[in-house]
Structure formats: C-alpha cells, structure tokens
Homo-oligomer: A and B are copies of this chain.
C-alpha cells in the first residue's frame, strides 16, 4: 500500500522517470498557512549533491485557498523535469543485482525499468514534502537526524552508513500498547525508506549484551532517567526522555562500473547501467528520516 498513517494519511504516487511524483495528504487540519519555505528547504536537503538536478517545484492541486489549508485533501505534484528514461533502455529485459528490478517483475509481471520506477528514491521527495508539513504541525517537538557513521570510502565504489535521530519535546504518554507501539511504528517507518536495512532504539543491539543492572535506566525524582538506554520509549509509549534511534543503510546498489545482470531469458549479462546515481546516498537520508519520524509521531493522539 502506498499510504502511510491513519490520522494524517499520506498517499504517494509517481515513478522516477514518469511524468511526476506527488502525494495526497488527508487529515491536515484546516486553517494552517503552510510554510512553503520550510518545504523548499527540506526538498533542497534531500536533493543536495544528487547527480540528477531537479527543481522540485511543488504544484498544489487542491486543499488550499488564499494560502490556508481547507481541511480537505492536499494534493500536490512535482514534475520530473530532468528525467532521462532513455538511459535505462538496456534494462528493459535485465535485472540489476541489489535492486528491486527482479522482485517487482516477479510480483507484477511487468515493471517500469526506468531508473527503478516506483522503487526509486525519487519517490521520497513526496514524503519530504509531507514530512515538512507534519513538522509544522508538531510545534515544540524537535526532530533532528544526522549521519552518525559512514561506510569506507573506496575509489569507484559506493558507501552506506548509519543515521541517528533524536526527538526532543515529545511528552510522556505518546504511543500505543502492543502493535501500535511507538517504537514499532518508527521501525516500520524507517525500514520503508529505500536502502534501510537495520533499526535500533536507544542502546539497541548493544543492549542485548548488557546485564539487566547495566541496562535499566535509573530514575531521577522528577521522572526523568539518568541514562536513556531504552531510547525514550517503554512498553511502546514515550516516557518524556528524548526518543533516540538509529537506522542502518546499505550502500547504493548501483555501482559506477559494469555489473552482471540477470536477463528475462535466464542468462547473465554484463551491463554498464547509465543513469545518474549517488555514490553516498546516506548523506541525503537524514531529511527523509526526519520526515518519516514526523509523519509517525503525528499519527498518534496526544
């Protein structure tokens, strides 16, 4: 499904080298003056350093009058102006390793072979717009992500890395028990980002190697804790401490040299894929992590 959230529901659409990407946002309150400058700023962060140069101009199709939201669906589109679908002609019948080419083919029987189609990170532009709006609706809550670690730099290769996110100002009591746990929803949100391959709250995997005495966050009398190994969430519900998590991203699978592709007739064939790709997309990931975090939080009642 291409929708995220129930209370503030974002339905994105668009292929990387199709006409446009965009979204419909359902559930935005009425009477809000959207901070278009913040939207542009977040889009610029997402675009920064990308080899493909898009203006990312947001056209608002509905939901606004006199600059104010109407409470009705906010629909927007961002035209793909720097699309070069021809670059991918060689992939019409071939599946790159490390990409979703093969799995989309197996699921749908056909696929958009042009630059990853729907599976491209191009789609995250729509999420970033929605996320910028979500952040505007969460005053007093700070959501900041940054690259915590980068994979090794090698000549002619790509890098992955780890992004760390820190949310301040979230009051205690936000989240749901069981399947609606705030940490579970954050995990799903982060793993929905292209290339995400791991997620951990607070001390995360390291916590598994602590003893209970080392792990538990001891109280201060004001309800804060002296450490934050749990990452600000207990039993799926925020405890008022900063929410902290980390997301691991694997390296971009598109290498800057020929790779062996699987063809639809079942042979292997070396192909130098054209198109323009990042060698380190992790640098552009923090704004996407922030967007998904904002969308996740906004879907909880508080």
Contacts and interface: CB of A to CB of B under 8 A. Distances in A.
A177 B112 CA distance: 13
B208 A248 contact: yes
A99 B216 CA distance: 9
Interface string A89-132: 00000010111101110111111101001110001000000000
Which 5 pairs across A and B sit closest by C-beta, in order of nearness?
A: A100-B235, A158-B212, A98-B216, A198-B200, A103-B237
Interface residues of A, number: 140
29 contacts: A1-B180, A2-B26, A2-B179, A3-B3, A4-B179, A15-B62, A19-B60, A22-B62, A98-B216, A100-B234, A100-B235, A100-B237, A103-B175, A103-B233, A103-B238, A104-B235, A106-B173, A106-B239, A107-B172, A107-B237, A154-B211, A158-B213, A162-B205, A179-B192, A187-B188, A197-B202, A197-B207, A200-B248, A218-B260
Interface in A134-190: 149, 151-152, 154, 157-162, 172-181, 183-190
Given A30-B110, A235-B100, A255-B213, A221 B262 contact: yes
Interface of A: 1-4, 6, 9, 11-15, 18-22, 24, 26-27, 30-31, 60-65, 68, 70-75, 77, 95, 97-100, 102-104, 106-112, 114, 117-119, 123, 149, 151-152, 154, 157-162, 172-181, 183-192, 194, 196-205, 207-219, 221-223, 225, 229-231, 233-240, 248-255, 259-262, 266-268, 282
A223 to B, nearest CB: 6
